[in-house]
Amino acid sequence: MPQSATTARIAARMDVLPRAPTRRRIQWSGYLYILPAFVIIATFHFIPVFYAIYISLHKGAINKFVFTGFDHYLRALGGEEFWNALITTFMYAGLTMPFTIALGLFFAYLLYQPFVKARGLFRAIFFLPYVVSTVGSSIIWAWIFDPRSGLANWLLRAFGLQPLRWLIEPSGIGELLAKNMGWTIPTWASGPSLALVAISIFSIWQAMGYDIVIFLAGLTNIPSELYEAARIDGASGWTLFRHITVPLLAPTTFFVVVISVIGSLQSFNHIFTMNHAAAQSLGGPLGSTSTLTVYMFDQLYTHANYGYATAIAILLSLIILAFTLFNFRFLGRRVQY
Amino acid sequence: MAWTTVKRPVTSVDRLKSLTGQTAIYAILTLGALWALFPFAWMVLTSLKGYTEAYAVETFLPTRWLFSNYIDAWNTVGHFPRYFANTLFIALCTVAGVLTTSTLAAYAFARMDFPGRDALFMVLLATMMIPFEVTLIPNFILVRNLKWVDNYAALIIPWIASAFSIFLLRQFFKSIPQELFDAAVIDGCSHLRFLLTIVVPLSRPALITSGLFTFLASWNSLMWAILVTNKPEMRPIQVGMAAFIGEAGTQVQLLLAAVTISVIPVVLLYLVLQRWFIEGIATVGIRG
């Protein structure tokens, strides 16, 4: 009722008012509306970027910085630690991403089947690990991986296998396997440490629900006519999945890959908590779980190397930025089917 | 009824085939759900055991269900009630701040016309691409110089504006029909009144999504809070729990009782607002 009254009033006035050429009316108060947000964002999220560049070129204690040029960058790029952290980061990404994506797509596809009832319930359960705080769930998983009383070793014993040291095991999984088999392998083949693998198992558990939700959204966007047409042509089951679902999901998959790599580059909370819960130093055992962000934080918090830590943060950001831009460009062009 | 049966008649073999297929799919989905849930079940079970029993993995169920562990955890895990209150206070202030600043800014970007508006919006979008790690150390130094260490201000003020929320709300505000606005202006309604009486009530879904993600990010944040809190009583819950793990004589059943308590608010919120959680993620794809 009030709506129609308003409409009538507008109509009435439209007739009365001369239709003046619509002139641009500048609303200066707009600046006032954006002011609070801009003050905060400029102070804490924009200007600090420039300050970060400044800090990365200096050394010494806070407020007593001494100019040191590109020393920190040279130290990072010329030394082993930075590269080791980068390799660890990509090993971690390689241990988690294929599994979360495969499981995510698998469960999303099952949930997507039209006959499935309680889809919402399943989706809600799958997504729960992603919602719960990482510190909390990392504590739970550190307890599951406890060498003496953990569920993981209980399971191994139940299958008649040797218990493992999980989060405190610095040896590579390749090395452990070889030792078990009685082989000797070169050091480069020892692979990621068991501790990193344990952390990756946690990540797969945590991120699976996220991938399911994203894939499910992608699947719902595929026009059902395509499936119908293919069915009329006699396609079914695997053929439908392989030739319709997979190619049409390519943009979604690409998005998930980029987001996962960025997530690996920024991974911190669970590594910090699980290292701590297993009584290891940050990035331990023997630095085998020190991803780039963990390394950055260690340099900042444990060693108070502000300049060097900032230089690492900037290098890390450049890598992330490259992935983000790649994502934008690629998605902007759309994936070819 | 009759016209649906024109298709090929469904034989009992077909029905059996699809029934086994469906049962298999349900079985796999249930396995997946158990995989997602078992750590929580294990957390609750461990949190109800006695000290020696907790470390003896052989007994799955507690022989005596010690609900008193929760009271003990509340009283002995660091300054647990304080951590809890700190986090709740910080998260609520942050949400209120983000919603206020973002609603105002998003409205100006969506509905007002002023010089440089689009350029400023682009700058805003650009800040969304800056990873948190770059600004971490400069912000830490700034907050230290402001004497905000061990002060709630450090945990709240830097986070009360969010480019992401502005972006989300602006998209939503833009979808509100222009006619509504024209009508209001003709009736002599000011921008602020229009925003508060018409736009905000219409934008509940977007406001809930943005408030929810802000709450979650605040409740779960760790790295920044480690840097800017030294006094135990100023710690938010995540820092408090992480610190408690390392303390001598930590008893796992109490620690997991504390974790359970810390998880409850988020799980409750999730159960109530589940739709917004999942649809928010599905549409914008952000990842914490």
The pLDDT mean for chain A works out to 87
Residue pointed to by tokens 């719902």: A220
Q: Of B29, B255, B285, which has the smallest distance from its Cβ to A139's Cβ?
A: B255
Segment A291-315 shows an average pLDDT of 95
Residue B60, SS3? Answer: coil
- CB-based contact A52 B266, cutoff 8 Å: no
Closest CA to B54 of B229, B281, B252: B252
Number of domains, chain B: 2
Q: Do B93 and B138 sit in the same domain of this protein? A: yes
pLDDT at A4: 46
Q: From the CA of A22, how many Å to the nearest CA of chain B?
A: 13
pLDDT at A23: 52
pLDDT at B3: 43
Q: From the CA of A184, how many Å to the nearest CA of chain B?
A: 34
With beta carbons under 8 A apart, name residues in chain B contacting A148. Answer: 55
pLDDT at A332: 53
pLDDT digits (tens, 9 = 90+) for A264-273: 999 999 999 9
Start-to-end Cα distance in chain A: 51
- The burial of B163, by beta-carbon neighbours within 10 Å (0-12 exposed, 13-18 middle, 19 or more buried), is given as buried
- CB-based contact A131 B267, cutoff 8 Å: yes
Query: What H or E segment, with its residue span, contains residue A59?
Result: strand A58-59
CATH second-level architecture of A72-333? Orthogonal Bundle (1.10)
pLDDT above 70: residue A15: no
Closest CA to A249 of A217, A225, A227, A285: A217
pLDDT at A74: 95
User: Where do the domains of chain A lie?
Assistant: 29-69, 72-333
pLDDT digits (tens, 9 = 90+) for A76-111: 999 899 999 999 999 999 999 999 999 999 999 999
- CB-based contact A137 B160, cutoff 8 Å: no
- CB-based contact B161 A151, cutoff 8 Å: no
Q: Do B185 and B92 sit in the same domain of this protein? A: yes
Q: Do B100 and B191 sit in the same domain of this protein? A: yes
pLDDT above 70: residue A184: yes
Q: Do B132 and B61 sit in the same domain of this protein? A: no
pLDDT at A316: 95
- Give residues with Cβ within 8 angstroms of A254, minimum separation 6: A327, A330, A331, A335
Say if CB A171 and CB A190 are below 8 A apart.
yes
Residue A170, SS3? Answer: coil
Integer-rounded Cα Rg, in Å, for chain B is: 26
Start-to-end Cα distance in chain B: 50
- Please tell me which residue, B5 or A169, carries the higher pLDDT value: A169
pLDDT at A1: 37
Residue in A closest to B240 by C-alpha: A135
For residue A64, what pLDDT band results from cuts at 50, 70 and 90?
confident
**Residue type at position B190:** S
pLDDT at B35: 97
Query: What H or E segment, with its residue span, contains residue A66?
Result: strand A66-67
Q: Of B36, B57, B281, which has the smallest distance from its Cβ to A125's Cβ?
A: B36
| B232: in domain | yes
pLDDT above 50: residue A318: yes
With beta carbons under 8 A apart, name residues in chain B contacting A45. Answer: 127, 130, 135, 158, 163
Q: Do B225 and B82 sit in the same domain of this protein? A: yes
Q: Of B133, B179, B226, which has the smallest distance from its Cβ to A316's Cβ?
A: B133
> In chain B, which residue ranges form alpha helices assigned H by DSSP?
12-47, 51-55, 68-76, 80-111, 117-128, 132-145, 152-156, 163-174, 178-186, 191-194, 200-202, 204-220, 223-228, 237-246, 252-284
| B204: in domain | yes
- CB-based contact A52 B39, cutoff 8 Å: no
Residue in A closest to B42 by C-alpha: A140
Q: Do B41 and B113 sit in the same domain of this protein? A: no
Q: Using CA atoms, how far apart are residues B164 and A241, in angstroms rounded to an integer? A: 35
**Six token digits for residue A232:** 């009329």
Q: Domain residues for B34? A: 12-69
Q: Hey, which bits of A199-333 come out as E strands? A: none
**Angle A115-A121-A125 from CA coordinates, rounded to 5°:** 125
Q: Using CA atoms, how far apart are residues A148 and A164, in angstroms rounded to an integer? A: 9
pLDDT at A22: 52
- DSSP per position, B135-168: HHHHHHHHHHHTT-TTSHHHHHGGGS--HHHHHH
Q: Do B112 and B197 sit in the same domain of this protein? A: yes
| B252: in domain | no
**Residue type at position B128:** M
Query: ipTM for the complex?
Result: 0.89
Q: Give 10-residue mean pLDDT values along chain B (288 residues).
A: 47 72 92 96 94 82 90 87 94 97 96 92 90 94 95 96 92 87 83 90 89 90 94 92 78 92 90 81 59
- Top residue of A132, A157, A228, A329 to mutate, by most chain B CBs within 10 Å, is A132
**Angle A42-A44-A50 from CA coordinates, rounded to 5°:** 75
Say if CB A166 and CB A289 are below 8 A apart.
no
Between A and B, how many residue pairs show a Cβ–Cβ distance under 8 A? 276
Domain boundary among B41, B69, B97: B69
pLDDT above 70: residue A336: no
Segment A33-62 shows an average pLDDT of 94
- Give residues with Cβ within 8 angstroms of B185, minimum separation 6: B194
| Cβ count near B261 (within 10 Å) | 21
* Residue B174, phi then psi, degrees to nearest 5: -65, -25
Interstrand relation of A66-67 and A58-59 (parallel, antiparallel or unpaired)? antiparallel
pLDDT at B8: 55
| B287: in domain | no
Q: Do B24 and B136 sit in the same domain of this protein? A: no
With beta carbons under 8 A apart, name residues in chain B contacting A143. Answer: 42-43, 46, 252, 256
Q: Of A113, A133, A293, which has the smallest distance from its Cβ to B220's Cβ?
A: A133
The CATH number covering residue B99 comes to 1.10.3720.10
With beta carbons under 8 A apart, name residues in chain A contacting B287. Answer: 210, 259, 262-263
